[in-house]
Amino acid sequence: MNRVPVLPVLAGLLLAYLLVPIVAFAVRLAGAGGAPAAPGVGAALATSLVTATISTAVIGVLGIPLGYLLARRRGRVAAALGVLVQLPLALPPLISGVLLVYLVGPYAPLGELTGGQLTDTRIGIVLAQVFVAAPFLVVAARSAFAAVDPALLDVAATLGHGRLSRFVRVALPAAGGGIRAGLLLSWLRAFGEFGATVILAYHPYTLPVFTYVQFGSTGLPATVLPVAVALLAALLILGAADHPRLPRRRGRAVLPGPVRPNGRPGPLVGFDLAARVGGFVLSVAHPPGARTIAILGPSGAGKSMTLRALAGLLPARGDVTLTGDGGRERLAGLAPEHRGIGYLPQDPALLPQLTVWRQVLFGVGADPAVAAYWLDRLGLTELADRRPDQLSGGQRRRVALARALARRPRLLLLDEPFAGLDTPVRDELRHELRALQRDTGMATVLVTHDPDEAALLADEVLLLSAGTVRQQGRQEQVYAHPRDPRAARLLGIRNLTAGTVGAGGVLRCGAAAVCDTDLPAGTDVTWCVRPDQIVLSTVDKSDGLAGRVVDVVRLAAFTETVVELPTGDRLTATRTGPAPKPGTPVRLAIAPDAVTLWPSAQ
Ligand SMILES: Nc1ncnc2c1ncn2[C@@H]1O[C@H](COP(=O)(O)OP(=O)(O)OP(=O)(O)O)[C@@H](O)[C@H]1O
């Protein structure tokens, strides 16, 4: 049995219902050999075209900012306003007209003030059309602005763009498609407006009012011409709006000679910040003494929030200080556009409509010669005329970096800048950033999950967990002496093993002594040793920890050998030479001073 194609049938039914009256009208018109004359139809059409266009302009100028603000604001007031602006859509237009009489009618204050000019004039028609048609634009603009990636606006702020500039240069182009659709709907609604207009401005006739008058006085035949004119005008406008927009042709970017920015060392960074977002409380501090800081921590620890607070994008109590040649500068209270801080969020947040070259010049005060230098340095010069959708992930991140650097920021904030990139690109970019830090002395705060990346790119490490600092200090110091097992885990330190201090303060693992401690016997501890500090041997020795190889992982530069001890604990040792096969009995020698231990109470 053939199944009925349900969806096409349903869609076809509605389509037929929408189109058949128009087709029937066209057939009738053709059969009659034209439409009888309708004196005044030209003037009515002109009135409708002019007033609909003026109304749409008014709606655009006022409604686009309203849609933007409604999309950006949260809370009950914004939600209530969002509902209220849609009210004219729900009201019968006649009632909208009656309501408007209370505002602009001849006996209302505004009507009296203007000598009755607001009714039965073209102004009256525009007022009626704006009231009824504005919600179409506001609703469309609001959802278009709500869909704009907030990271675009954040980055624009850190690139020096104030509120108005962010609206005009970032939000408007990004929401352009939705706004255009809203403006078209508003125009069409204004063009076809009848109910409110008939109450507020019966004269001069608009096309719908003219048609109604013709129908009432002479009957259906007299409406043929106005109906034909209205259909033609609406079709022409719809056709023009649907016309594919030709891509703007731009010449190739002409880059100036690159100029290397001066290499003055950046400021020392310090901060003491507290913020609350929803139920999450952030409290982070770092004394001003470092130029390159890495923030490490598990997912959800508050790392990105810390960067946003540093950039001024997240309201926070406390202060950020930059200490340089000119003394100590406090940033508290400064808007992000005035902080002079470069910010790279997890997403590169490139503006979709701009080429690479325009992208790197987007920052306020970006120096073209310096921008050309960074494009060259980051291998992007050949890509200067491409748009973001024509770039790879690594290239996009490079562009975002060049864009931030073209403004010569005092401090660069990087939120997991290399996450998701493949290993060669990640390594290349990491080393590029390290070279950049070395060459320019630029201050950076880097958020990362990767302890190796932190070690490569920062002198200081800040370990964050659940919104608070667990440990902070010089990178080598923190790596050598994690404060507790949790900090060790955050640093990616392996070989964390539980044990108990034995007689004479000796820590044993099974029968073998690991190291001496000054702890009383019976103290439970967690101890660790770095994999590269374990010497693994297969010769039959009596000293060291006996165990059996359970796994061998051959990495590019070395081999990891996982050894299971008689206690069931597993230790990993790294070596560069060949590794014993799984199952081989081995001995592990550990220098006592390579062991770090923490009493379990910590
Ligand atoms: N708008 C919000 N409302 C409520 N809680 C939020 C909001 N934004 C973030 N959070 C919470 O704040 C905490 C910190 O978020 P943050 O983005 O700083 O984490 P993170 O350390 O950068 O994590 P990741 O490494 O996964 O990016 C998280 O627990 C998150 O769920």
504 residue type, one letter: G
Alpha carbons 27 and 593: distance in angstroms, whole number: 98
Give the model's pLDDT for residue 265.
81
pLDDT in tens, 318-345: 999 999 888 888 998 899 999 999 999 9
Which protein residue's CA is at the shortest distance from atom 27 of ligand 1? Answer: 299
Cβ contacts of 14 within 8 Å, gap of 6 or more:
none
Collapsing DSSP states into helix, strand and coil, what is residue 43? Answer: helix
Collapsing DSSP states into helix, strand and coil, what is residue 288? Answer: strand
> In the predicted model, what is the mean pLDDT of residues 581-598?
88
Residue of 277, 283, 347 to mutate, ligand 1, most atoms within 8 A of C-beta: 277
In this prediction, residue 56 has a pLDDT band, given cuts at 50, 70 and 90, of very high
Give the model's pLDDT for residue 53.
96
Alpha carbons 168 and 178: distance in angstroms, whole number: 15
Cis status of the peptide bond prior to 265, with omega within 30 of 0: no
Alpha helix ranges (H) inside 105-146: 109-113, 122-146
pLDDT in tens, 18-43: 999 999 999 988 888 877 888 999 99
Q: Do the strands 468-474 and 460-465 form a parallel or antiparallel pair, or are they unpaired?
A: antiparallel
Kindly state if the Cβ of 74 falls inside 6 Å of ligand 1: no
Cβ contacts of 376 within 8 Å, gap of 6 or more:
258
Tokens (6 digits) for 84: 């209220």
Give the model's pLDDT for residue 247.
62
Collapsing DSSP states into helix, strand and coil, what is residue 265? Answer: coil
Alpha carbons 180 and 59: distance in angstroms, whole number: 12
In this prediction, residue 493 has a pLDDT band, given cuts at 50, 70 and 90, of confident
Alpha carbons 59 and 452: distance in angstroms, whole number: 55
Ligand 1: centre distance to CA 300 (Å): 5
Kindly state if the Cβ of 304 falls inside 6 Å of ligand 1: yes
Ligand 1: centre distance to CA 301 (Å): 7
Give the model's pLDDT for residue 437.
84
Q: Provide the β-strand partners of residue 272.
A: 285, 319
Give the model's pLDDT for residue 121.
94
Kindly state if the Cβ of 280 falls inside 6 Å of ligand 1: yes
Distances 153 to 163, 172, 472 between C-alpha atoms, Å = 9, 11, 32
- Given a contact cutoff of 8 angstroms between Cβ atoms, the answer to whether 545 and 590 are in contact is yes
**R_g of the chain, CA atoms, integer Å:** 35
Which protein residue's CA is at the shortest distance from atom 16 of ligand 1? Answer: 302
- Given a contact cutoff of 8 angstroms between Cβ atoms, the answer to whether 495 and 571 are in contact is yes
Ligand 1: centre distance to CA 302 (Å): 6
267, 593, 598, 311: which is closest to 447 by C-alpha?
311
Is the model's pLDDT at 426 over the cut of 90?
Answer: no
Of residues 600 and 183, the one with the higher pLDDT is: 183
Give the model's pLDDT for residue 169.
95
CB atoms near residue 110 (< 10 Å): 13
Give the model's pLDDT for residue 133.
97
Give the model's pLDDT for residue 423.
79
Question: The complex's ipTM?
Answer: 0.96
Kindly state if the Cβ of 352 falls inside 6 Å of ligand 1: no
Give the model's pLDDT for residue 601.
65
Collapsing DSSP states into helix, strand and coil, what is residue 280? Answer: strand
Give the model's pLDDT for residue 541.
67
Is the model's pLDDT at 562 over the cut of 60?
Answer: yes
Kindly state if the Cβ of 277 falls inside 6 Å of ligand 1: yes
Give the model's pLDDT for residue 600.
83
Give the model's pLDDT for residue 1.
59
Which protein residue's CA is at the shortest distance from atom 14 of ligand 1? Answer: 302
Ligand 1: centre distance to CA 282 (Å): 10
Is the model's pLDDT at 602 over the cut of 60?
Answer: no
Mean pLDDT estimate for the chain:
90
Alpha carbons 283 and 275: distance in angstroms, whole number: 7
pLDDT in tens, 385-408: 999 999 998 899 889 989 998 998
Cβ contacts of 246 within 8 Å, gap of 6 or more:
none
14: part of which helix (H) or strand (E)?
helix 6-32
The phi and psi torsions of 517 (rounded to 5 degrees) equal -130, 165
Atom of ligand 1 nearest to the CA of 280: 12
Give the model's pLDDT for residue 284.
96
Distances 276 to 300, 315, 318, 321 between C-alpha atoms, Å = 14, 9, 12, 21
Ligand 1: centre distance to CA 280 (Å): 8
Ligand 1: centre distance to CA 277 (Å): 8
Kindly state if the Cβ of 299 falls inside 6 Å of ligand 1: yes
Give the model's pLDDT for residue 417.
85
In this prediction, residue 314 has a pLDDT band, given cuts at 50, 70 and 90, of very high
Report the 3 state secondary structure along 47-93.
HHHHHHHHHHHHHHHHHHHHHHHHHHCCCHHHHHHHHHCCHHHHCCH
Share of the chain above pLDDT 90, in %: 55
Kindly state if the Cβ of 300 falls inside 6 Å of ligand 1: yes
Atom of ligand 1 nearest to the CA of 467: 14
What dihedral do alpha carbons 234, 236, 237, 241 form, nearest 10°?
Answer: 140
Tokens (6 digits) for 542: 């009596």
Kindly state if the Cβ of 423 falls inside 6 Å of ligand 1: no
Which protein residue's CA is at the shortest distance from atom 5 of ligand 1? Answer: 278
Distances 533 to 182, 525, 530, 551 between C-alpha atoms, Å = 67, 20, 5, 18
Q: How many residues does the chain have?
A: 602
Kindly state if the Cβ of 345 falls inside 6 Å of ligand 1: no
Collapsing DSSP states into helix, strand and coil, what is residue 523? Answer: coil
Q: Which of the residue ranges 374-378, 568-572, 597-601 would you say has the lowest mean pLDDT?
A: 597-601
Q: Which of the residue ranges 61-75, 139-153, 154-168, 435-449 would you say has the lowest mean pLDDT?
A: 435-449
Alpha carbons 159 and 409: distance in angstroms, whole number: 9
> In the predicted model, what is the mean pLDDT of residues 176-181?
93
Of residues 165 and 494, the one with the higher pLDDT is: 165
